[in-house]
Chain A
């Protein structure tokens, strides 16, 4: 698994030359996967983005589709994948250089997430690491020197994994009404309440937690009264209970209900100022939209690549099925949608990275939300059509597209629904 692919390939090629006889498997297939130019046009990406893409694809090449099929079926955490990315420093892509990160922007991190899902790792691969990339952003920005020194290096080198604890059962998108309470005690805080859809909580040692420190009735503005914490997930500690949620896709990574019942946390876990947690968390949300958009795009391109390969190779009625416009046109349409969504996504990421305050924050917000919306829809179209192009085989696990289809619902639903994005854009654009 670790031997570089090229050594295996070059060896065979130097012995037998590039032109392997065409009987049976075509030579393009023997060499292809990452080698063949992908469907996505890469014109206009920066040197950094292309470097990231190249380096991440090399790592992902060691984790083929069969690895992810198995993890999905057995619901086993892809810890080797997380470890491989951590070992080479990738979890620190958007964290400050002074703590061992690379100090790159969301444009590059989005490319990393896209490359991961596109490799066949899908949303499972992305979710195995992505909280470490984005949930650490507010920490890096608002944490004290001491908090950063004690946590960030451990997250980058992979010894600690982190999860993001915001969503609650009764306040999914209505974040300001969240009910989990952190009550002040002599030593810190006592947390009580419930979180849901907390990805990777089973394997994480840290949680970036948003909890109420002042009851909603007592605050001047509804945006006040929430606080952000970076806490230990200590399963041996009283007052903490985790329950796995069985789900449709991305089964390799766990999603959980988390119950706090007077769970004690020290005072130094507070990030930034007390009661200012909502402002802090907003900082990470636009970045998260971009990453999710990238993840959706990667999945869409992966599905479309599978479909295009199948359409070229599958022969029915004496010709490849792709020769039929009924098969080719839906794929062409899906491709255009992906390319358009790609432009929207990297445009949003660029706005986020280059905003020195001259771009109104709502312009960035609309761009990031639009990107997430468009990319998720384009990915869904691509995944669904990839399954249909495969016919019966599209329903078989072996061909991977059914896994992609199950997973592509995630970016349509999370971290914010399509309807909420439409509401937001309607409001900001004065349609409502």
Chain B
């Protein structure tokens, strides 16, 4: 690797993790108006990891941390948060918001990210493994496919090993952990145990206001917001029925037999 790390961290503005979403009246999606939003928690992990890669002063210096969000006029809120955590600059990709829809589809976002990677000479993309609104978990993988780059998903540890750009990534699998090795350029998606995202401290919140935030469109990266999927209907899960009590183990077994579970 001749140059340093140029990291891209896409983030998504989603309904806050602590809010219980409600279905809108038209049953086309969830109610977003007047609901608290924040940065997708998995994306906060990615920002944190990018900042920690810089702070760890590993074999490759971090030259640039670019963050971006695609969506409506409130997106700069999460971008400022990302910059307050330590990202250097941000793109707001202006995408008009439809009522209650989950935003552009993963392939559209992946294509747009490919455009950003190429234009901005990115060599490491850190993405959350999924956004907690639509829970699709596809964007990172599609991006790696489009770029023809190696990918490591659901990372619980990211370790830059040497100056030539060897990276080791650990991720959790059933019954243990798996360690992967790849060379930059690389796509990594992040999982919960990777780190603990920091709170933005006041001096950095103030600095973040002065960091560059550029407005772009999908067209700047040669992409259109076409949708292949149409949401027919969104409904609440059926309410759970109350359970019943059995006297003893024999009662349990006969009840299960009665229900055809045994």
A interface residues, Cβ below 8 angstroms from B = 2-7, 9-11, 13-14, 17-19, 21-23, 27-28, 31-37, 47, 51, 54-55, 58-59, 87-90, 92-93, 97, 100, 102-104
In B30-67, the 8 Å CB interface with A consists of 34-36, 38, 41
CA–CA, A28 and B20, complex, Å: 7
Cβ-closest chain B residue relative to A33: B18
Which residue of B17, B18, B205 contacts A36 across the interface (Cβ within 8 Å)? B18
Q: Which residues of B contact A3 (CB under 8 A)?
A: 196
Q: Known: A18-B21, A22-B240, A35-B19. Contact between A10 and B202, CB under 8 A?
A: no
- Give chain B nearest CB distance to A154 CB in angstroms: 16
Complex contact B203–A100 (CB within 8 A): yes
Do residues B242 and A23 form an inter-chain contact, with CB atoms below 8 A? yes
User: Which residue on chain A has the smallest CB distance to residue B206?
Assistant: A102
Question: Would you mind naming 18 contact pairs between A and B with Cβ atoms under 8 Å apart?
Answer: A6-B17, A6-B41, A10-B132, A13-B132, A17-B237, A31-B18, A34-B18, A36-B19, A37-B34, A37-B35, A54-B38, A55-B199, A59-B199, A87-B201, A97-B206, A102-B203, A102-B205, A104-B206
The CA-CA distance from A21 to B236 in the complex, in Å, is 13
Complex Cα distance A99/B178, Å? Answer: 48
The residues of B that contact A51 with a CB separation of less than 8 Å are 80, 205
User: Which residue of chain B lies nearest to A92 when distances are taken between CB atoms in the complex?
Assistant: B202
A-B contacts at CB below 8 angstroms, number: 80
Contact B199 A89, beta carbon cutoff 8 Å? no
Q: Which residues of B contact A22 (CB under 8 A)?
A: 239-240
Interface size on B, residues (CB 8 A): 30
Nearest residue in A to B208 (C-beta to C-beta)? Answer: A51
A9 touching B18, Cβ below 8 Å: yes
B182 within 8 A of A: no
Whole-angstrom CA separation of A175 from B199 in the bound complex: 42
User: Which of B20, B204, B206 sits near A18, CB closer than 8 Å?
Assistant: B20
Nearest residue in B to A85 (C-beta to C-beta)?
A: B202
Mask: chain B, 186-224; 1 = CB below 8 Å from A; 0 = not: 000000100011011111111000000000000000000
Determine if A103 and B196 form an interchain contact, defined as CB atoms under 8 angstroms apart: no
* Minimum CB–CB distance for B80 against chain A, Å: 7
A51 to B239, CA, bound (A): 37
For residue B243, which residue of chain A has the nearest CB?
Answer: A23
Residue from A31, A55, A89, A97 in contact with B20 in the complex, judged by beta carbons closer than 8 Å: A31
Closest A-chain residue to B237, C-beta based?
Answer: A19
Contact B17 A9 (CB under 8 A): yes
Q: Does B88 contact A (CB under 8 A)?
A: no
User: Is A35 a contact of B34 with CB atoms below 8 Å?
Assistant: no
Instruction: Tell yes or no: B101 within 8 A of A by CB.
Output: no
Name B2-40 residues within 8 Å CB distance of A: 16-21, 34-36, 38
Among candidates B196, B200, B205, residue contacting A4 with C-beta atoms closer than 8 Å: B196
Residue of B nearest to A32 (CB): B18
In the complex the two chains form, is B202's CB within 8 Å of A93's CB?
yes
Please give 18 more A-B residue pairs, beta carbons under 8 A apart, in addition to A7-B196, A34-B18: A6-B17, A9-B17, A10-B132, A18-B21, A22-B239, A23-B240, A32-B18, A35-B16, A35-B18, A36-B18, A37-B19, A37-B34, A51-B80, A55-B205, A88-B199, A93-B202, A100-B203, A104-B206
List of A residues within 8 angstroms of B202 by Cβ: 55, 88-90, 92-93, 102
- When C-beta atoms are compared, the residue in chain A nearest to B205 turns out to be A51
Given contacts A22-B240, A97-B206, contact A13 B200 (CB under 8 A): no
B34 cross-chain contacts in A, Cβ below 8 A: 37
Contacts of B21 in A (CB 8 A): 18
Find chain B residues with CB under 8 A from A97 CB. 206
Q: Decide if A11 touches B192 in the complex (CB within 8 Å).
A: yes
Q: Assuming the A-B contacts A23-B242, A58-B199, A102-B202, are A37 and B36 also in contact, with contact meaning beta carbons closer than 8 angstroms in the complex?
A: yes
Task: Chain A residues near B239: list those with CB within 8 A.
Answer: 22
* Chain A residue contacts of B242, Cβ below 8 A: 23
Q: Which residues of A contact B197 (CB under 8 A)?
A: 4
Most B CB within 10 A of own CB, among A9, A87, A89: A89
Contacts of A7 in B (CB 8 A): 41, 192, 196
Please report the C-alpha to C-alpha distance between residue A122 and residue B27 in the assembled complex, in whole angstroms. Answer: 42
Give the distance in Å from the alpha carbon of A21 to the alpha carbon of B16 in the complex: 20
**Closest B residue by C-beta to A59:** B199
Residue of A nearest to B34 (CB): A37
Which chain B residue shows the least CB distance to A34? B18
Give the one of B35, B38, B201, B205 with max A CB within 10 A: B205
- Assess the B18–A6 pair: CB atoms within 8 A: yes
| CA of A93 to CA of B242, assembled, Å | 52
CB distance from B83 to the nearest CB of A (A): 12
Bound together, the chains give a CA A23 to CA B242 distance in angstroms of: 8
Which 4 pairs of residues, A with B, have the shortest CB-CB distance? A35-B18, A89-B202, A88-B201, A21-B240
Measured between beta carbons, the chain A residues less than 8 angstroms from B20 are: 18, 27-28, 31
Q: In the complex, which residues of chain A have a beta carbon less than 8 angstroms from the beta carbon of B199?
A: 55, 58-59, 88
CA distance A54 to B205 in the complex (A): 12
Nearest Cβ on chain A to B205's Cβ, whole angstroms = 6
Contacts of B192 in A (CB 8 A): 7, 10-11
Inter-chain CA distance A10–B205, complex, in Å, is 25
**A233 to B228 CA separation, bound complex (whole angstroms):** 70
On chain A, the residues within 8 Å of B41 by CB distance are: 6-7, 10
